Structure 1
Amino acid sequence: MNPLRRLLPDTAYAISALVLAVPAFSIAIAGLAAGLGTAVVAGLGLVVLVGTVYVARGFAHVERLRLSGMLGVAAPRPSYLRAQPGRGRVHALLTPLRDTQSWLDVLWSVVGFVTGIFAFVLTVSWWALVLGGLTYWFWQQYLPFDDADNLTLAEILGLGHGRRPESLLYLAIGALATLALPFVVRFAAAVHAGTARVLLCSRAELQARMGVIEESRASAHRAEAQSLRRLERDIHDGPQQRLIRLGMDLGRARHQLANDPATAAETLDSAVAQTREAVEELRALSRGIAPPLLVDRGLAAAVEEMASGQAFPVTVAVDVPRELPVAAETTAYFVVAEALTNVAKHSQASRAHIAVAQREGSLVVTVDDDGHGGARLAPGRGLAGLRERLAGVEGALEVASPEGGPTRLLATVPLS
């Protein structure tokens, strides 16, 4: 945001920093001193330390509210350690003392006092310099001035003697200070806010990141499990049944060769047809698995080969580097394969278009078709499984498919 627009919020944040920092520092120091000093007196010191930690948590929570409300920055609240059920009152009482974030809150109560004083003093001093310099020409007339005895700053700098050179000098200083004011106040607020974010929010951000990673891992496992179950079902219902029939046809033809060669030839023709159909079904199933063409020639060639094998015309526009991370490349290929499968099975589309491009560190895959629409991310459907797979690599899936069509599937696959 423009520093000029941030001037008033930054000023309010920097000046009010001391209002929170003074009581937080006083209670933290007093609590730590009293708690450590009486730690050996029947556990009284531990109770004081626990109370100090909880008070520091409260001040930390208020500071997070100030960060988000006054500066508009993200200030997530961390998850504090909680006592395990059934471990007793002593365990519950001492749990805050075993929590890392609790001690970071206490540390901020001490360090924030230093940065709060810095932000307050710098902001107030600079505002005083601006207002005093710009208005000195007015209120200097009420100050006593002896032309003979007064040695002014303007005279020291060789600008002349008297009230006029002095007022012009201070006016120039005030004007220069005004130009620098937004940046100086922004710096003062940033020092205090940066310290607060590091101590009060960085662990929460790390916890959130770990949560995303764990959810991505779980999504990847679910997607792989669903893919394996679907692959097993499709193999059982398709190629396996055809291969069983092929074996039966070949056995029947073997017995027919001696007595009825014509019928045996027809049976062998049927067996050949069954073989072709089984190969086609296996080829279709292999689209969910990285084909050799993807490994050998890259995503663009693999997508073009997949598009050419569809029963409806598919145009392709792929603009990506030849070398891509394996996980991202495989996921993008699977997105295209699953999207085309859904188009062929459900959309009754007459044509489709595939676009793959690299934008801002991600692969963006777009699949459009002119079908009847109505596609949904319903549980148990192919698109839901696709979303799970994308979540496993921290990607995202969007589907726009109004009734009557057309349908657009937009997937984002991170490259890192």
Structure 2
Amino acid sequence: MTARRTRLEGLLARSRATVDALDHLVGGVGTGILALTALLWLAVVALLCLVGVGLPMAPVALRGLRVVADRERVRLSQRDPELVGPGPPPPGLRAALADPGVRGELGWVVCHSTLGLLTGVVAMSLPLAAVRDLTFPLWWRLLPPGEAEDAALNLWRVGDQRSALAVCVFAVGWTALSLLVIPGLERLQSWPGRRLLSAPPGGDLALRVAHLTATRAAALDAHAAELRRIERSLHDGTQNRIVAVTALVAAARRAVARDPASAGEILERAQGAAEQALAELRAVVRTILPPVLEDRSLADALSGLAAACPVPCTVTADLPGRCAASVEATAYFTVAEALTNVARHSGAGRVSVALSLRRDRLLVQITDDGHGGADERAGSGLVGIRRRAEAHDGTFMMTSPPGGPTTLKVSLPCGS
């Protein structure tokens, strides 16, 4: 029984890894198309440079290459440690072509527009073939007679429902092949980008220091903003309640001598004000570090947020263990702020929250089916989410096209 359960868990883990790899490969097809476009444009500019008219367009072409390469760096950073790119290329075409970063991007655009695009297409074709053969008995009669007889990879003739059902056997083979091949194809597709798009050792260190300096400044700003928020909450809420309690208790003391009957009513009002002050103080404490994370897991805490969300929300978690308390608190507040934004601004009918742990990084994804068009610069709390993530050396990504859906992804390192 234990061995069977272990095999089942291994199969489920392999299936999840395959689905994740397929999702990454599909994204690689998108950047592969961009890389192919950039390669063709570079080839046209190079040919025009031979006759002298393409020299003014060369810097523009290299900037376009940098845009496409940066998009690939962002994509690769979603699953692996952040990929830091090189600094700006030096001025002048000759100096730019001699720059190691530019030469690495040129090598990557050749590899990714061919090998990367091919691996992505092959990986996408495997599950499509499984679906095709699995559903073949439902639609094989719609095919012309000649094609229906030669279906099933031309291994046998399909002329009746029984032979059409036999084609479903191939779906099992395609599925098994997908589980075996797709994770390896994902690694093969990502390898040129990991090798060619990273900054040189010295430049990587310098850019890393600059990045950490910027995130440290953002963390200090976020910390100062959090202190101001706590101070306002205590000053405008709890402090006023306590002042009211003090005034009511003083009034009750005076009423004891003059009108003892009214003292009880005043003390009752003082007790109500004290209870309100205690409730507000507890609310402030929960915004500093939610106590629910001490008593329950992160998934359970987020399930509580989902239950309180006005928009129907589902939470799925694939977390084998606990992360550091600061990381879980950041993930909790990220989801809380995101759900608040969804309820206030998105007009969504449903929202989903997904948690997973990949290569020592906690991935949080919030997706809603609202009208989209979310913008960090609109002051909707997204800047705060970015600052929280970057303060932990994490990454923040958001896609929100007009019409939706809106997807927010946060990746946090899970060091203890």
What TM-score does the superposition give when structure 2 sets the normalisation length? 0.46
Greater gyration radius: 1
What TM-score does the superposition give when structure 1 sets the normalisation length? 0.46
